[in-house]
Homo-oligomer: A and B are copies of this chain.
Amino acid sequence: MSIDAHRWLMTAVNAPLERASFRPEPGAADVVIAVAGCGVCHTDLGYLYDGVRTNHALPLALGHEVSGRVVATGAAAASWMGRTVIVPAVLPCGECDLCRRGHGTICRAQKMPGNDIQGGFATHIVVPGRGLCDVDLSRLEAAGLTLPEVSIVADALTTPYQAVQRAGVTPGSLAIVVGAGGVGGYCVQIARAFGARVVAIDVDEKKLEAISHHGAALTLDARALDGKALKAAVAAFAKKEGLRPTEWFVFECSGTAAGQLTAYSLLVHGATLSVVGFTMDKVEVRLSNLMAFDARALGNWGCPPESYPPALDLVLDGKVAIKPFVELHPLADINRVFAAVHHHEISKRAVLTPA
């Protein structure tokens, strides 16, 4: 087997990504995927611009939101050959004690493309042939979507899916999503698909306007309202809609200290605060409020591979719209696109396509 491939390598913090050729060589249990699309995530920006450390030494191709087609396999992964798949952003080993006990999200041998192994800003990627999510091309076409577009299922969609599922949102719940951007927008839609009435909070009017057409029953501008006023507005909404004054589900998706403080201020009795976004920044909070409110805060790292098919179903069944929130760019433009996302000049999820 000989495949001409290239990927874009991060060589240092703040340095331009560099194109490098390589020959994809699958191990016995690996597959080689011809990348259809790879989404640009907040996490990638954290590595490149903020100095968040990758587990794999540099140089490293970033990118963990990958869709594509299996074009080569090792001997033990032959059954994957030719299949169109989404690569889970976190791939548990499937064999360790944690995996066997159903805790794949904390598997210590897990592989995250663009962090533990070479990532998806590339023509090809080599990943373990395990837990990949099949994409039915006829259903995809019927849903008016393309394979590159659903790359974002690998993280932007499945991460909030896991958060909503783990938090236990049920019909009639009140969900509040702080940060209605790349991840939070899907969180709004998924919580709605789980039966919640959803309040979206952001500092960006455009994002609030967009999400008001996709699942948010109420949008609140955090620039105009402080924590107390936001809580009062949500409480008034709950009352008007006949929703509970207790047991709110708050999803922090902004990955900012300000967003985390807002989310924390929305705790009520029996509340669940899901920490979905990441920031290195610390926040000053009264931790005892968790005790006083009999509330809980749940961290969410990735999403188990077994939850990918039902998450993808939400997209293919038209319950979660992704088309309005994704835009495709050529992989060759990666440095320009990274800068534009970094400078908030692109508000949709940018997906880089090699073709």
How many angstroms between the C-alpha atoms of A281 and B289 in the bound complex? 10
Q: Which residues A230-261 have CB closer than 8 A to chain B?
A: 245-247, 252, 255, 260
Kindly list chain B residues whose C-beta atoms are within 8 Å of the C-beta of A289.
Answer: 299
Kindly list chain B residues whose C-beta atoms are within 8 Å of the C-beta of A270.
Answer: 98, 103, 106
The answer on a CB contact under 8 Å between A290 and B299 is: yes
Number of chain A interface residues as a range:
35 or more
A283 CB-CB contact with B under 8 Å: yes
Contacts A246-B106, A269-B106 known; A288 to B297 CB distance under 8 Å? no
How many angstroms between the C-alpha atoms of A286 and B252 in the bound complex? 13
A265 CB-CB contact with B under 8 Å: no
Binding-face segment, A192-200, A272-280, A310-318: A272-280
Count copies of this chain in the complex.
2
Residue on B nearest A295 in the bound complex, by CB: B299
How many angstroms between the C-alpha atoms of A245 and B106 in the bound complex? 11
Kindly list chain B residues whose C-beta atoms are within 8 Å of the C-beta of A281.
Answer: 286
Central interface residue in A269, A280, A295, A299, by most chain B CB within 10 Å: A299
How many angstroms between the C-alpha atoms of A222 and B296 in the bound complex? 26
The answer on a CB contact under 8 Å between A284 and B287 is: no
How many angstroms between the C-alpha atoms of A300 and B294 in the bound complex? 5
Residue on B nearest A104 in the bound complex, by CB: B294
Contacts A291-B275, A301-B294 known; A283 to B284 CB distance under 8 Å? yes
Kindly list chain B residues whose C-beta atoms are within 8 Å of the C-beta of A106.
Answer: 246-247, 269-270, 293-294
How many angstroms between the C-alpha atoms of A289 and B298 in the bound complex? 10
The answer on a CB contact under 8 Å between B287 and A283 is: yes
Residue on B nearest A293 in the bound complex, by CB: B299
How many angstroms between the C-alpha atoms of A288 and B296 in the bound complex? 14
In the assembled complex, the CB of A117 is this many whole angstroms from the nearest CB of chain B, namely 18
How many angstroms between the C-alpha atoms of A340 and B98 in the bound complex? 49
Within 8 Å by CB of A269, from B108, B252, B294, lies: B108
A285 CB-CB contact with B under 8 Å: yes
How many angstroms between the C-alpha atoms of A270 and B105 in the bound complex? 9
The answer on a CB contact under 8 Å between A288 and B298 is: no
The answer on a CB contact under 8 Å between B290 and A286 is: no
Contacts A270-B103, A282-B284, A283-B284 known; A290 to B294 CB distance under 8 Å? no
A142 CB-CB contact with B under 8 Å: no
Contacts A295-B299, A296-B298, A299-B293 known; A288 to B108 CB distance under 8 Å? no
How many angstroms between the C-alpha atoms of A318 and B51 in the bound complex? 54
Within 8 Å by CB of A299, from B103, B246, B252, B294, lies: B294
A to B CB contacts below 8 Å, 6 in the list: A106-B247, A108-B245, A277-B291, A284-B284, A288-B299, A291-B299
Known contacts A275-B291, A284-B284; 16 additional CB pairs below 8 A are: A98-B246, A98-B270, A103-B247, A106-B247, A264-B287, A275-B288, A276-B291, A277-B288, A278-B288, A281-B286, A282-B284, A282-B286, A288-B299, A291-B301, A295-B299, A296-B298
